[in-house]
Amino acid sequence: MAHSTDHHENEHAMSLAERAAFALLPFSGLGLLVFLLLSRELPFALALPWVPSLDLTLGFRIDGLSALMLLLITGVGSAVFVYAGGYLAGHRHQRRVLALLSAFMLAMIGAVTADQLVLVFVFWELTSLLSYLLVGFDHESAASRGAAKQAMLVTGAGGLALLAGLILLGQAAETSSLSGLVARGAELADDTRARIGVVLVMLGCFTKSAQFPFHFWLPGAMSAPTPVSAYLHSATMVKLGVYLLARLDPAFGEWPFWRMALTGVGTLTSAWAMILVLGERDLKRILAWSTVSALGAMVMLVGLRGEGSATAVGAFMLAHALYKAPLFFVAGNVDHGTGTRDISRLGGLRRAMPFTATAAVLAAVGMAGLPLSFGYVAKAVVLNAKREEEILAIVSYGSLFVGAVSVAVAAVASIRLFFRSAPEGGTVDAHEGGISLVLPPILVATIGIVFGVRPWLIEGLLGQVARSLTPGPGGPVVDLELELGQVFYSVAGTIAAGAVVFFVWEPLHRVVERGGALLRPYGAQAFYERALGDLVKSAAWLTRRVQHGRGSLYAAVLVFAIVLALGLAFAPGASSLAWPAPTSVELPVLAALTTISAGALLACVLETRLVLLLASGLVGYGSALLFLFTGAPDLAFTQFAVETAFVIVVATVLIELERRRRARSLLEPRVRPFAALVSLGFGGLLGALLLAVSALPFDDTLSRFYAAHSLPDAHGRNVVNVVIVDFRGLDTLGESAVVVFSFLAALPLVAALKKRRKEATP
């Protein structure tokens, strides 16, 4: 991690001004957003023409849900940019991280404001791509590269499913805008395309938001620098899946399948991640699993139907960002100050790191959902949403368990690390970071407290969120003050259960660790690794089979495929073929035909390569003669020239091979049934095609046009040449460019061949 280079100011250090310049982007975004929210009515939309012929517009739309996401992106983003400036100070790739984070922020802003299906996908994939670059930031470590690849493959595969789903939904709803799709979604219940589309979109969202069984990539992504984890893998990007599901919920919320999938997968993810969290010792991985759990809870909330669920999704998203981002910063500070994130080696850090301890406590209060924090408000809203609905008993037991473990995790990140004395042999050497490391977590966590004490500050925005997620006009009225008292006992129960989990953390940890080791070979991670290994193996197998390197076999297979495809296509018309009426053949033509046949027959029986080449040259010259005697002198001329150059060059190479006694290796067996079959088939097919074509009446409109216009319009008596250089000049230009490009493409191939030979014969 970064701390090894952090203490020594070196040539990579960025000046304060440079850091401030990077931080200007999120801060100005945040300022603009707050200004817009205070001064204008939501939603506002913007549409710029993009590709009018394809009915594509650059459509953007900001409603309550988008505004909330934007608040997270720019708000947490501001804290992250300040924090990253301190956390990576002096790191030689600090600028790269900040530049990637800036690009990521813009991609996120695009993803949550885009109102055009293609744009949604493009920005969605951009966030995946930037996440890949940021997770693999420490690219010299194999583990880091593996984690980046895993995150990319899982979310990238989901992104492709999303693209397919959005296309299908767009076609079914006959719209290319997201808001149009949402408006028309309810009418699509019986459309098969829409059903498949919804499943594919769900896949995309589940992979992005790390839902079971795609949950495994998120803890791996913790190899990214801590500010990146706080931003991408907790506060913003992983919430994109929840965002899109919530956005589409008004359209498909009434489908039983949608409801079941979301509540089922969400609950399962939420509970399973909270079991897995008990098996971890790395503070960042603990926070990652609890993030997965929170994402599961959000997906489950989207699946609920009651009026309060929309508010609950918004409130929980905000609360989660307000406590989880500071906790990640705390983890980063602990790592930075002690050199480890292993909770079994840490304790009693409050003396050495008082400010980080303060931030940890403020954030943990929110995570545990204690009164006077925004976490408490969110919990109240969530409980209300659940109460409105008949939900399965297992879901409520599940959420009790999830709540209890979150309380325990909050206690681990605050009480255990900072207030319980250090374990035997634990680290004693700890120090506090600079102001840019302690200010962001304290500030963000404090906002969580302020919103908890004064919920009306955020009530308006949450009301807008609820309105944007509720079909029809109007929408629920959100009144946060009223709901607080009703859930006090439920919250108290969760906290009591959490305290129990906290005190038996170590025994639980041992049980889960042991169980996890037993289950690991059957887990999603192991499946992913097996699948990846098998993919590589089967690709290698297929490549060995298909790319065997034997030119003659390539040619045979190619021709065979042509015979098969064309033969099948033309087989139905074969019976109507008739032999042409016999006509007298002139002697020169007959001679040309004899030459061709003789060359072809010789090529079949000859064995020596050089003679074989001459025989094939005979076919070429025979064809040239044929052209000459049937009124195509230009073609004949060309054929002569091509054939001559070809024979000379190939003969030279063959003679050289012969001289070095390497020609033997080129020999094929005397009788090759497959080759014979393919040749006969191809010849027969071409013959049949020729018969079919010559049976048709000849349309000479074009020839007459060219013949008539060649001299008056283009001053040329050679029609062929005039067609080439004038009438169809653009084609010729393209063709000669292709000839040149193919030559240029051959240059590196030959250079590589020469290099290999040189290495083989030192």
Partner 1 sequence: MSPRSLMLEVAGRTLYWLLLAASLWVLYRGHNLPGGGFIGGLVAVSATVVCAVSQSTELARRRLLFGDPRVLAASGVLASLLSGVVGWLAGEPFLTHPWVSIPLGVGSFDVSSVLVFDLGVYLAVWGAVGGYALLLLELEPAHDDGGSP
Task: Provide the binding-site residues for partner 1, judged by CB under 8 A.
Answer: 633-634, 636-638, 641-642, 644-645, 648-650, 652-653, 656-657, 660-662, 714-718, 720-722, 724-726, 729-730, 732-733, 736-737, 739-740, 742-744, 746-747, 750, 753-754, 757, 760-761
Tell the smallest beta-carbon distance from residue 746 to partner 1 (Å). Answer: 6
Tell the smallest beta-carbon distance from residue 761 to partner 1 (Å). Answer: 5
Q: What is the DSSP letter of 425?
A: T
Nearer to partner 1, 584 or 761 (CB): 761
- Which two structure tokens, joined as six digits, stand for 341? 């994130």
Burial of 744 (0-12, 13-18, 19+ CB in 10 A): exposed
Nearer to partner 1, 351 or 659 (CB): 659
Residues 6+ apart with CB under 8 A from 353: 333, 334, 337, 418, 430, 431, 432
Q: Cα 599 from chain centroid? A: 56
- Alpha-carbon distance of 284 to 274, in angstroms, equals 14
- Alpha-carbon distance of 538 to 526, in angstroms, equals 18
- Alpha-carbon distance of 405 to 368, in angstroms, equals 9
Tell the smallest beta-carbon distance from residue 207 to partner 1 (Å). Answer: 47
Asked if 323 and 375 touch (Cβ cutoff 8 Å), the reply is yes
Nearer to partner 1, 544 or 662 (CB): 662
Asked if 178 and 116 touch (Cβ cutoff 8 Å), the reply is yes
Nearer to partner 1, 164 or 714 (CB): 714
Closest CA to 565 of 672, 684, 676, 685: 685
Nearer to partner 1, 403 or 620 (CB): 620
Tell the smallest beta-carbon distance from residue 717 to partner 1 (Å). Answer: 4
Asked if 101 and 231 touch (Cβ cutoff 8 Å), the reply is yes
Tell the smallest beta-carbon distance from residue 739 to partner 1 (Å). Answer: 5
Nearer to partner 1, 589 or 725 (CB): 725
Nearer to partner 1, 299 or 628 (CB): 628
Q: Which residues on adjacent β-strands are paired with residue 282?
A: 342
Hey, what amino acid is at 337?
G
Nearer to partner 1, 51 or 753 (CB): 753
Nearer to partner 1, 415 or 647 (CB): 647
- Alpha-carbon distance of 433 to 226, in angstroms, equals 14
Tell the smallest beta-carbon distance from residue 623 to partner 1 (Å). Answer: 15
Strands 56-62 and 44-51: what pairing?
A: antiparallel
Q: What is the DSSP string of 516-575?
A: HHHHGGGSHHHHHHHHHHHHHHHHHHHHHHH----HHHHHHHHHHHHHHHHHHHHGGGGG
Q: Cα 563 from chain centroid? A: 39
Tell the smallest beta-carbon distance from residue 608 to partner 1 (Å). Answer: 18
- Alpha-carbon distance of 97 to 280, in angstroms, equals 27
Tell the smallest beta-carbon distance from residue 568 to partner 1 (Å). Answer: 36
Nearer to partner 1, 670 or 715 (CB): 715
Tell the smallest beta-carbon distance from residue 738 to partner 1 (Å). Answer: 9
Instruction: Find the Cα–Cα–Cα–Cα dihedral 602, 606, 612, 617, rounded to 10°.
Output: -10
Tell the smallest beta-carbon distance from residue 713 to partner 1 (Å). Answer: 10
Tell the smallest beta-carbon distance from residue 640 to partner 1 (Å). Answer: 9
Tell the smallest beta-carbon distance from residue 705 to partner 1 (Å). Answer: 17
- Alpha-carbon distance of 269 to 373, in angstroms, equals 25
Q: What is the DSSP letter of 631?
A: T
Nearer to partner 1, 160 or 612 (CB): 612
Tell the smallest beta-carbon distance from residue 634 to partner 1 (Å). Answer: 5
Closest CA to 385 of 474, 453, 324, 314: 314
- Alpha-carbon distance of 207 to 193, in angstroms, equals 21
Nearer to partner 1, 490 or 644 (CB): 644
- Cα distances (angstroms) measured from residue 120 to each of 59, 140, 178, 303, 523: 10, 33, 8, 22, 32
Nearer to partner 1, 24 or 751 (CB): 751
Nearer to partner 1, 594 or 718 (CB): 718
Tell the smallest beta-carbon distance from residue 609 to partner 1 (Å). Answer: 14
Asked if 439 and 81 touch (Cβ cutoff 8 Å), the reply is no
